Amino acid sequence: MGSEKKSRKKVVYRRHDRNPIPLLEPERRKKTFKEYALGYGHTSALDEADRCILCRKPPCTPSCPVNSEMEKWIGEIQKQNVWEAYKILRRNNPFSSVCGRVCPQERLCESTCVLTFKDNGQSVGIGGLERFVGDSIRMSGIEWVDEKEPPTGKKVAVIGAGPAGLANAYFLARKGHDVTIYEALPFVGGVMRYGIPEARLDRRVLDFEIDLIKKLGVKILTGIKVGQDISFEEIRKNYDAVFIAVGSGRGKKMGIPGEDLKGVYTAIGFLMKVNTGLVDPMLAPDEKVELPTGKRVAVIGGGFTAVDCVITSIRLGNETHLIYRRTRETSSARDEEWDHVAEEGAILHWLTQPIEVIGNENGEVIGLKCVKMELVPDPKGGRPRPKPIEGSEHIIECDAVIMAVGQGDNPLAYKDIKGLKIDKWNNLSTVDEKFRTNIEGVFAGGDVVNGGDTVVRAISHGKKAAEAMHEYLMTGKWEYNGE
Ligand SMILES: Cc1cc2nc3c(=O)[nH]c(=O)nc-3n(C[C@H](O)[C@H](O)[C@H](O)COP(=O)(O)OP(=O)(O)OC[C@H]3O[C@@H](n4cnc5c(N)ncnc54)[C@H](O)[C@@H]3O)c2cc1C
Ligand code: SF4
């Protein structure tokens, strides 16, 4: 044992030479919806993979919601075996190329990388490498087909074709089950398609990963709103199990005076219109969104959605202001993205709270009345609270306002299920640890359970629920133990 230890190669910690991901220059990228993060090329990907010391007990893997086994697939990149790396990625996640782009890795896997433990070290660029592997397979033209087990004869319905529903269908189909997805909108992908702008997620990547799920035999029926075009009961009687993955994606406004003026949008209405050309009333009350172009736009909020509205508004040629009541450091968006939009010319107003939308005699927006805020300690010990500063009222002149202040419940699919336990937000956080609802054979996951989180968290729910659903389908055992 002792001699074995002595003969081990000395580990070299390359803490400070992370390869940056090249970006399109701000002046070019703000005029195009083309993806602006260009990704690693072969040389930089190999060099970045070489920074990983392939930990024997890697902290990065358990800090990824889908346990992506970094130490194994990064090891395969080091051996220049991208095919094997992709195989490992796909056994945990059917959307690794999407996650390589949109996951907040700096808060998940990368935040625990051992290279960060000393001397302000920089983590391995796990997200960039994940993207590199998926892109290499896609662009090689290789016909990728996932393996699956023989048919079980069991039928499953999934409601909602966002990341949670699609991931659930993928894992169940690989187990040999016959899966049909019911999707309300005329397209597949949920927020990945109608919310996240193409500038951050090239649709060819999304289409490639969705096509691989279809190749497994998963049927996707679009344009069917469960609870409106077909009842939940009708579905339940034709399938052995059901997974509800309808998200929690209804656009919301703030409840301040003036928000019904012409030119005030919900983030979902605005993004859906730009990304897909249509706005669905199920998710966005603003059915007729006329897009602001060449105007002054104020986006309110501090999360992923607000950043996406800013990115989109800039590309429509608008002077774009971001208004957030807290600080940049306490916002929930990715830090680097604030740098990116600032480079593109966004005007960022931190510690600023809108209190009224101001209109003219024609009912059109002409400004946003705001107050300045300061952060004060929370008496309950929580994160500091924003408090208005007296006499700080001011007006930000603008022609349109986009409210990116969170999304609301969308219970259309499940509101008529007799006896189903629903929480006070109309969501299904009432599921137990196996994502079972209190109705036998009915499972739920994704944003409809947690009220809104990340793509990778939704995928992890779909994956874990698929394991529990497989067990139920094969044994018939059912023991709901939620609250
Ligand atoms: C604008 C925006 C940007 C975001 N950016 C990021 C990001 O960069 N990174 C990140 O990790 N996360 C991001 N998020 C969060 C992430 O997108 C969500 O957490 C994730 O999409 C949730 O997945 P889901 O499958 O639960 O729901 P959704 O993606 O909302 O999908 C639900 C699907 O169910 C369908 N549906 C709803 N009701 C019915 C019905 N009655 N019948 C049939 N189908 C129905 C919907 O049409 C939709 O397609 C963002 C969210 C938004 C809104
Ligand atoms: S913690 Fe960092 S160095 Fe260790 S396996 Fe994960 S990525 Fe590699």
Whose CA is closest to 122, among 55, 51, 49? 51
Ligand nearest to C-alpha 61:
2
Return the residue whose CA atom lies nearest to atom 2 of ligand 2: 113
Model confidence band, residue 221 (pLDDT cutoffs 50, 70, 90): very high
Residue 286, pLDDT above cutoff 80:
no
Average per-residue pLDDT for the chain: 94
Q: Tell me phi and psi for residue 454, to 5 degrees.
A: -130, 165
Residue 4, pLDDT above cutoff 70:
no
Q: Measured from the CB, is residue 435 less than 6 Å from ligand 1? A: no
Q: Is the dihedral of CA 55, 59, 60, 62 positive or negative?
A: positive
Model confidence band, residue 172 (pLDDT cutoffs 50, 70, 90): very high
Model confidence band, residue 300 (pLDDT cutoffs 50, 70, 90): very high
Ligand 1 pocket test: pick from 36, 93, 102, 191 the residue with the most ligand atoms within 8 Å of its Cβ: 191
Q: Measured from the CB, is residue 115 less than 6 Å from ligand 2? A: yes
Q: What is the pLDDT of residues 435-478, one digit of tens each?
A: 999 999 999 999 999 999 999 999 999 999 999 999 999 999 99
Task: Report the alpha-carbon distance of residue 374 to residue 327 in Å, rounded.
Answer: 9
Look up residue 16 and give its two tokens: 């400070």
Cα 54 to ligand 2 centroid, rounded to whole Å: 6
The residue with greater pLDDT, 382 or 112, is 112
Q: Measured from the CB, is residue 312 less than 6 Å from ligand 1? A: no
Task: Report the alpha-carbon distance of residue 185 to residue 104 in Å, rounded.
Answer: 27
pTM of the entire structure? 0.95
- List, in order of start, the domains of the chain with CATH numbers: 11-140 (1.10.1060.10), 155-248+409-475 (3.50.50.60), 255-406 (3.50.50.60)
Model confidence band, residue 6 (pLDDT cutoffs 50, 70, 90): low
Look up residue 424 and give its two tokens: 């006070």
Are 196 and 308 spatial neighbours (Cβ–Cβ below 8 Å)? yes
Residue 8, pLDDT above cutoff 80:
no
Q: Measured from the CB, is residue 129 less than 6 Å from ligand 2? A: no
Residue type, 257: P
pLDDT, average across residues 221-235: 97
Which neighbouring-strand residues pair with 436? 443
Look up residue 453 and give its two tokens: 């989180």
Residue 5, pLDDT above cutoff 60:
no
Whose CA is closest to 431, among 378, 377, 482? 482
- Chain centroid to CA 142: 27
Q: Measured from the CB, is residue 412 less than 6 Å from ligand 1? A: yes
pLDDT of residue 381: 85
Which neighbouring-strand residues pair with 481? none
The residue with greater pLDDT, 292 or 212, is 212
Ligand 1 atom at minimum distance from 166 CA: 25
Ligand nearest to C-alpha 49:
2
Q: Measured from the CB, is residue 431 less than 6 Å from ligand 2? A: no
Residue type, 371: V
For the chain, give the percent of residues with pLDDT over 90: 88
Length of the chain: 483
Q: What is the 3-state secondary structure (H, E, C) of the chain?
A: CHHHHHHCCCCCCCCCCCCCCCECCHHHHCCCCCCCECCCCHHHHHHHHHHCCCCCCCCCCCCCCCCCCHHHHHHHHHCCCHHHHHHHHHHHCCCHHHHHHHCCHHHCHHHHCHHHCCCCCCCCCHHHHHHHHHHHHHHHCCCCCCCCCCCCCCEEEEECCCHHHHHHHHHHHHCCCEEEEECCCCCCCCHHHHCCCCCCCCHHHHHHHHHHHHHCCCEEECCCCECCCECHHHHHHHCCEEEECCCCCEECCCCCCCCCCECEEEHHHHHHHHHHCCCCCCCCCCCCCCCCCCCEEEEECCCHHHHHHHHHHHHCCCEEEEECCCCCCCCCCCHHHHHHHHHCCCEEECCEEEEEEEECCCCEEEEEEEEEEEEECCCCCCCCEEEECCCCCEEEECCEEEECCCEECCHHHCCCCCCCCCCCCCCCCCCCCCCECCCCCEEECCHHHHCCCCHHHHHHHHHHHHHHHHHHHHHCCCCCCCC
pLDDT of residue 1: 44
pLDDT of residue 265: 94
Return the residue whose CA atom lies nearest to atom 1 of ligand 2: 113
Cα 306 to ligand 1 centroid, rounded to whole Å: 15
Which neighbouring-strand residues pair with 359? 365
Q: How many Cβ atoms are within 10 Å of 180's Cβ, its own excluded?
A: 17
pLDDT of residue 3: 47
Whose CA is closest to 321, among 259, 274, 390, 370? 370
Q: Measured from the CB, is residue 245 less than 6 Å from ligand 1? A: yes
Return the residue whose CA atom lies nearest to atom 4 of ligand 2: 55
Q: Give Cα separations from 440 to 46, 159, 168, 241 (angstroms).
A: 49, 16, 18, 8
Model confidence band, residue 425 (pLDDT cutoffs 50, 70, 90): very high
Q: What is the pLDDT of residues 86-125, one digit of tens each?
A: 999 999 999 999 999 999 999 999 999 999 999 999 999 9
Look up residue 260 and give its two tokens: 């019904």
Ligand 2 atom at minimum distance from 123 CA: 2
Ligand nearest to C-alpha 63:
2
Look up residue 386 and give its two tokens: 């924003």
Q: What is the pLDDT of residues 32-56, one digit of tens each?
A: 999 999 999 999 999 999 999 999 9
Residue 2, pLDDT above cutoff 50:
no
Q: Measured from the CB, is residue 210 less than 6 Å from ligand 1? A: no
pLDDT, average across residues 272-284: 92
Q: Measured from the CB, is residue 64 less than 6 Å from ligand 2? A: no
Task: Report the alpha-carbon distance of residue 261 to residue 279 in Å, rounded.
Answer: 18
Cα 163 to ligand 1 centroid, rounded to whole Å: 7
Q: Measured from the CB, is residue 413 less than 6 Å from ligand 1? A: yes
Q: Measured from the CB, is residue 446 less than 6 Å from ligand 1? A: yes
Cα 442 to ligand 1 centroid, rounded to whole Å: 20
Residue 294, pLDDT above cutoff 50:
yes
Ligand 1 pocket test: pick from 455, 456, 461 the residue with the most ligand atoms within 8 Å of its Cβ: 455
